[in-house]
A and B are shown apart, each in its own frame.
Chain A
Amino acid sequence: MLRILSIALLLAIWWTAALFVGGAKLPSPPVVLHVIIAEAASGALFLHLGATLARVALAFALAMSAGSAIGYLMGRVTLADRLGDPWLILLLNLPALVVIVLAYIWAGLTEAAAIAAIAINKLPTAVVTLREGTRALDRSLDEMASVFAMPRWRAFRHVVLPQLAPYIAASARSGLSLVWKIVLVAELLGRPNGVGFEIGVAFQLFDTPRLLAYSLTFAAVVLVIETALVQPFEARATRWRPRAA
């Protein structure tokens, strides 16, 4: 209820501001809605949204799986941590734009280059979070698993993974928001479709209604994914915790 109220307030502020500024610079909500409907009717909206979402899904999956594996390794093995740490710091501080531009120069304006560039941007934060999670693992439970001679996989699944779940959830959440932002830049610079491409076009034409139409639809999709996927996963991963009454 409060959420709806807060969204309504945002809309009200926007509408009022649009009345004052007016015209092409800040269109009112109905104007933007009209563009959204028109783009949806022509199918262009779904095409671009779909392209962007596919890139997000691929890059996110790639970065999360590789990042988690590397983070776990660095948390467990001191040698891996020592060797990997300088690379990690370098990657963490490398601006997204540099990675994207370099990827396009080296691999051409291809889909693979775009997805790899987005994944590389997300990778180091996943590594850092999972490394922290791995370092925080409870050694006494490892000992328990070892005394009871639990096979490796069973111990990983039932002893280690549940302890990492909150870190994976945190990394997924921050990772999604990072990937959303970067994917648009990658599309703007070197892809012929996607929300980022459309925003680039809108920028060249100073077409604010179109710009808002695409970015708001995209934001709505993000909101749905967050509530429908990330939050339920988090709730499930922490369901064993005694809840405050």
Chain B
Amino acid sequence: MRLEVDITGKTYRSAAGGPHQVLAPIKFAIQSGEVGVLVGPSGCGKSTMLRIILGLDRDFDGHVARPPEARIGMVFQEPRLLPWRSVEQNVRLAAPDVTDGKLSELFRILELEAHRSHFPGELSLGLARRVALARAFAVEPDLLVLDEPLASLDDALAGRLRDEIATLVASRPVMTLLVTHSLEDAIRLGDRLFFLSPRPARIVQEMPIAIPRAKRNEVELARIRTEIRAELAALELETK
């Protein structure tokens, strides 16, 4: 399977009446088994792009080719859980075909076993984000979209969840699209990084990472980090 994105533009009409360009032409594609990472400054139009790719926003110029039978798993920026359903029900409602064994395994990996019957209102943000991850993985997606899934979590927890995402992504062939503004997430999880400009967003640089995710050790990561920083500096783009 393959996701092809060819957006030629997206314009809003602002409240004042004038047109407002959010996205410049953007073109990229990702394959099954690949993790594409969109890195860009806050407010550059990443979420708008995701909404277009997910089919939530059809009012744009261009074309998005997504296999129609592709199952989608999504982790929104806010967890978007149903507050009136328990953790387990939240997952099962999105993924009715999930087996008990698979569900238990997901809950074990994400350390949610103790919270199965809790309501989302009783969870911390970190836990709620993990439930959102469990939900996205439980549908066994062909296309997995992660919109800043680790934002506003402390470094230790973010690091652990990042490893868990890597484990889960490796467990099956899936096209993954990760949106982040953290270079750390990008180089640890991504196969191909797309750096976006401020609004209206366009891709200013595409960087593949040749070394497979599992084989990137700290030395390699440091090298990649330096390399990317240098390239970005040349482009006068800043990242964390």
Contacts and interface: CB of A to CB of B under 8 A. Distances in A.
Interface of A: 140-141, 143-144, 146-150, 154, 158-159, 162, 240-242
A176 B74 CA distance: 43
Contacts of A241: 83, 121
A154 B93 CA distance: 8
B54 A240 contact: no
B78 A140 contact: yes
A140 B56 CA distance: 11
A240 B85 contact: yes
B93 A240 contact: no
A140 B147 CA distance: 14
**Chain B interface secondary structure, helix, strand, loop or mixed?**
loop
Given A146-B56, A147-B54, A240 B83 contact: yes
Bin the interface of chain B by size.
20 to 34
A147 B121 contact: no
B71 A149 contact: yes
A138 to B, nearest CB: 9
Interface string B52-64: 0011100000000
A61 B59 CA distance: 42
Contact of B82 (A146, A147, A158): A158
Contacts of A143: 51, 56, 80
A242 B121 contact: yes
B119 A147 contact: no
14 contacts: A141-B80, A147-B54, A147-B74, A148-B73, A148-B95, A149-B71, A150-B93, A150-B94, A154-B96, A162-B85, A240-B119, A241-B83, A242-B119, A242-B121
A150 B96 CA distance: 9
B221 interface: no
A140 B83 CA distance: 13
A237 to B, nearest CB: 8
Interface string B72-111: 1110101010111100010001111000000000000000
A157 to B, nearest CB: 9
Contacts of A159: 82
Nearest to A163: B84
